[in-house]
Structure formats: C-alpha cells, structure tokens
Chain A
C-alpha cells in the first residue's frame, strides 16, 4: 500500500472585524488523486480542516467564473488549476489582485458590476422588433466577428492581471471593453453610439497601454487586449471620418 501524497496550501485569511491586514495560513492536506484541482483542495480544507475558510465557487467546470483567485501569484480559475502542476511545492492561494477583499479569498466585485452595466451588454435596437417579426438572420462570418468576445464569463482574472487597473481602478477594464466590443460588432446591434461615451472616455479604452496580460490569463481564450485596441481604432475612425458618428 502506498502512502497518500500530501500537499501544502497557503491560503489568505482575513477577517475585517479582527485582522488589520491579510495573513497566510498553512494547511497540509492529502493529495490523493491527480485530477484534484486547487478548488478541491480548498473544499477539503473547508470540509475537514477549517470550516471558516471563505471563498466563492459554483460550477467547478470553468463556466461560472466565480472561483478566480491568485494561485502562486497568477490569476487562475481554481477549478482549472491542477495540484499535479505544483506538487511537491506548496501552493499559495490569495484573493484576486486589484480588488478590495471582503473576507479571506472573497473579493468585492461591485466595481466590475457597475462597469459591466455601464457598457450595456445586451443587443440594443433603435426600434424594438416584435417577437412575431421573425428571426435575426446572421451569417457565419457575422457571428465570427464577435464569437470569441462572447466567451467571456466575467471571472475578472483579466482585471487582476492588469497593472493599469491596479494603478487606476477608474479604468473601465479589459472584460467590460471586450463585452462592449462583442455587442458593437454584432450585426443585430444598433447601440455603438450609446456605448461610445463610456468607451471613448479618458478612463475607457485610451487608458490601456497594451500590457497584454489580460489576454494571457483569460481562461476562455478571449483576447480583451485585441478588443481594446480595435475599439481605439473604431473610436478614432468615428471621430476622424466624415459622418463617423452617424449610427
């Protein structure tokens, strides 16, 4: 019989009522299965070692976007970070960078939610089409224009990776701009003019200096850096070209 491997997890603990600042607490847990991910490790700690550890999670399969944390300093979905890739080294799990911490590994996402709402992430029509008005027909090429940007799951890893957002959290940020791009290039949408004031604002696309790390850490293969640069070009064209602001 082989002994079960063990792995060390260092997790941030922070109780705003008791602690002045976050600290790391070390847990040693069994690493019994190569398919175990960091989220499994946190669930083991919560279930068997310390029930007070707080963190967000839901689907456990890279869809809901709620289990994003810093794993060894890199923003990752913890359901997609395998322990086997770190063992036998200890793993440090911290809350996402650049956000206020509510407790332990839970961040305050209000800022992102406000920004998300500001870019109106839905199909805008000047004249609403009644349900009986038939389907919006799109070609494959038209869908390909926005497909990759529609994969965003709002996990906010890109915000944690963005030093521009870290230095100035007024910046609209990668995911919000990628989602604005997703609707702006959708052939059914007629709302680019309504999103323009937010996107072209000083804290909009022009705040980005193209670090590119947002696209590197995205777990869904979205390229927010590309969305931002293309939106810069679009906003410039709308300003420079005659009738550019006409929708």
Chain B
C-alpha cells in the first residue's frame, strides 16, 4: 500500500477520521479516571481541572465522540439482522432504534449525574 493511501478516496479518509477519533477519546477517558481518583476524598478537597485548554480539548473530544457514535450506530443496520414473522426488519428501523436507545440512555445518565450532583 502506498503511503497516503487514505487520502485517495473520500471513504478511506472518513474511515481514518472515524478510527482516529477513538484516540483523543481514550485520552480524555484516561484523564476522567484521574479526576475520579482525585475526587475520592470528597468535595472539600476536590477542584476540577478547568483550564481553558482542557475545556477546548473536551469540546473537541465531545465532537469526536458524537461523530464516532453517529457513524457506529449508522452501521448497526448492516450488522444486526432480525426477522419478525419470517420477515426481516428494515435496516433503517434498526438504525432508528439504536439512535432512540442512545437518546434514552443519554437522558437517563444525564438525569442520574445531575440529580446526584445536587
């Protein structure tokens, strides 16, 4: 394979972008573990990391996470295969159900975090 093969076709490029997004996401999650470790002594001694650089990094990672999630869930229609009454469920419906489950899970997690943070 020639160097730079991934620049030759748009599908290759967006595939590499999709794969690359997991790297900063992993770094952010590692940092999140560090924050949990720092918070173990309770709220009195904990000061969250809130430098401008970290906020910008977090926003970028959020965009990457959204892109990765959307591309991943959009592919679910090709992966999952169910029959109901001997008829396959349309892939669009499977994709829609994945996005609905994602939205529901986000609401639940958001509620738990906000409720217990008060």
Contact = CB atoms under 8 A, between A and B. Distances in A.
B19 A233 contact: no
Contacts of A73: 8-9
A210 interface: yes
Interface in A179-221: 209-213, 216
A226 B77 CA distance: 9
Interface in A118-148: 139, 141, 144
Interface string B2-41: 0001101101100100010000000000000000000000
Contact of A225 (B5, B78, B81): B78
B63 interface: no
Chain B interface mostly helix, strand, loop or mixed? Answer: mixed
A213 B1 contact: no
A30 interface: no
Contacts of A216: 11
A167 interface: yes
Q: How large is the interface on A (under 10, 10 to 19, 20 to 34, 35 or more residues)?
A: 20 to 34
A230 B75 contact: no
B79 interface: yes
Chain A interface mostly helix, strand, loop or mixed? Answer: helix
Interface string A49-78: 000000000000000000000000110000
A213 B10 CA distance: 10
A73 B34 CA distance: 47
A168 to B, nearest CB: 10
B87 interface: yes
Contacts, number: 46
B117 interface: no
Contact of A166 (B5, B15, B75): B5
A163 B87 contact: no
Q: How large is the interface on B (under 10, 10 to 19, 20 to 34, 35 or more residues)?
A: 10 to 19
B78 A233 contact: no
Contacts of A226: 78-79
A213 B9 contact: yes
Given A141-B86, A209-B19, A211-B11, A230 B1 contact: no
Given A73-B8, A216-B11, A210 B1 contact: no
Nearest to B6: A163
B15 A212 contact: yes
B57 to A, nearest CB: 26
B89 to A, nearest CB: 13
A226 B79 CA distance: 6
A223 interface: yes
A233 B80 contact: yes
Contact of B78 (A163, A167, A213, A229): A229
19 contacts: A73-B9, A74-B9, A98-B1, A139-B86, A141-B86, A163-B1, A167-B1, A209-B15, A209-B19, A210-B15, A210-B75, A212-B11, A213-B11, A225-B78, A229-B75, A230-B78, A232-B79, A233-B79, A233-B80
The 5 lowest CB-CB distance pairs between A and B, nearest first, are A229-B79, A166-B1, A226-B78, A211-B15, A141-B86
Interface of A: 73-74, 98, 139, 141, 144, 163, 166-167, 209-213, 216, 223, 225-226, 229-230, 232-233
Interface of B: 1, 5-6, 8-9, 11-12, 15, 19, 75, 78-81, 83, 86-88
